[in-house]
């Protein structure tokens, strides 16, 4: 497991052995918003050939097991612990209900992440981050756990959303954020709404479409990327950004790079952290 594990800092100098546990927690991302701009960050796992997911024979996408490790998941949770708001999406809630994905909507409920609940308390953060569900279809199940843990849940969609679905969620007591001119929520309008609601550290745990709109609109502050040392191949795949060429909005500066030589599958992986030059808070 991760506790006690060491990895190597390659950048910035000096080269040094460091503890994996606490590596991202020490960044204090919840204190980095500035000039009225919430700090928005995302984290992706990719292979050397830039794949974040593969397609099975039916066209369904999945996260290959060889991309994931307990160490990467620990860092994912450390990032989550620093958020006052998580942005997920309708697709995740459907997968959660079908038990195709595990629950990442609450933090610190399991033994291995209990320390993160205590860390949030010490930092004056609410026990659980609030949740935004981005959805164009508005057709997803709402997990009971969100209300059970006292998390406010907002739904972000576009102005062309189905009025019957909008009424359904309003009748259930959820606030809808209309943050796009079409069917989809847009990054800039969504971050402006969340800013007005007082959120300072916003963690994108959604997929590539949400990352695309955040970066394209210049609202992503930081990108964390775990790069596992394997070529996945696969003719059907997903990568980080599905939309058209990005230009300067897609330019990043590396802030740190750590090397774990032992996992996954003894290949090794890099944990990289990048600042978006258009979206820095
Ligand atoms: N390797 C990694 O780090 C990583 C990270 C994330 C995802 N993945 C994988 O990549 C594959 C594709 O990811 P995905 O399905 O999460 O991604 P996606 O295609 O970006 O998003 C899927 C759903 O999110 C909602 N959505 C996304 N952006 C939206 C927006 N701007 N406005 C409104 N709704 C929006 C839509 O929900 P509705 O259908 O409800 O309208 C959409 O169907 C999956 O296999 C996933 O497991 C890998």
**What does the pLDDT look like over 167-178, one tens digit per residue?**
999 999 999 999
Q: What is the pLDDT of residue 2?
A: 55
- From 194, 209, 227, give the residue whose CB has the most ligand 1 atoms within 8 Å, as the site to mutate: 209
E strands, the chain, in order:
6-11, 16-19, 39-47, 53-55, 61-62, 85-89, 130-134, 153-157, 175-178, 201-204, 222-228, 237-238, 252-260, 269-276
Q: What is the pLDDT of residue 3?
A: 66
Cα(122) to ligand 1 centroid in Å equals 33
In a domain, 177, yes or no: yes
Structure tokens at 78: 């450390």
CATH code of the domain in which 79 resides: 3.40.430.10
In a domain, 83, yes or no: yes
In a domain, 19, yes or no: no
In a domain, 150, yes or no: yes
Structure tokens at 147: 């209300």
**What does the pLDDT look like over 44-70, one tens digit per residue?**
999 999 999 999 999 999 999 999 999
Task: State how many domains the chain has.
Answer: 1
Tell me the residue range of the domain where 122 lies: 36-242+259-276
In a domain, 4, yes or no: no
**What does the pLDDT look like over 73-93, one tens digit per residue?**
999 999 999 999 999 999 999
- In 82-162, where does DSSP find H-type helix? 90-97, 114-123, 144-148
Please identify, by atom number, the ligand 1 atom nearest to the C-alpha of residue 210: 28
In a domain, 158, yes or no: yes
In a domain, 20, yes or no: no
Query: Is there a contact between 129 and 83 (Cβ–Cβ < 8 Å)?
Result: yes
**What does the pLDDT look like over 141-189, one tens digit per residue?**
999 999 999 999 999 999 999 999 999 999 999 999 999 999 999 999 9
In a domain, 205, yes or no: yes
């Amino acid at each position: 497991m991760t506790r006690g594990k060491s990895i190597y800092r390659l950048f910035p100098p000096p080269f040094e052995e460091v503890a994996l546990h606490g590596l991202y927690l020490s960044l204090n991302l919840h204190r980095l918003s500035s000039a009225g701009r919430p700090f928005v960050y995302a984290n992706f796992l990719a292979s050397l050939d830039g794949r974040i997911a593969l397609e099975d024979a039916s066209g369904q996408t999945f996260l290959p097991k060889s991309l994931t490790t307990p160490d990467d998941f620990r860092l994912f949770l450390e990032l989550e612990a620093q958020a006052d708001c998580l942005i997920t999406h309708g697709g995740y809630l459907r997968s959660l209900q079908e038990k195709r994905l595990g629950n990442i909507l609450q933090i610190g409920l399991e033994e291995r992440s209990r320390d993160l609940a205590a860390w949030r308390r010490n930092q004056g953060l609410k026990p659980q981050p609030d949740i935004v569900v981005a959805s164009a279809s508005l057709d997803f199940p709402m997990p009971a756990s969100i209300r059970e843990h006292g998390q406010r849940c907002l739904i972000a969609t576009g102005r062309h959303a189905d009025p019957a679905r909008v009424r359904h969620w309003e009748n259930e007591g959820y606030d809808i954020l209309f943050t796009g001119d079409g069917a989809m929520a847009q990054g800039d309008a969504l971050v402006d709404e969340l800013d007005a609601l007082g959120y300072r550290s916003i963690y994108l745990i959604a997929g590539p479409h949400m990352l695309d709109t955040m970066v394209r609109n210049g609202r992503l502050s930081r990108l964390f990327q775990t790069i596992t040392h394997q070529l996945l191949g696969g003719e059907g795949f997903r990568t980080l950004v599905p939309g058209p060429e990005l230009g300067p909005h897609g330019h990043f500066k590396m802030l740190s790079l750590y090397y774990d030589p032992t996992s996954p599958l003894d290949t090794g992986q890099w944990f990289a952290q990048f600042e978006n030059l258009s979206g820095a808070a």
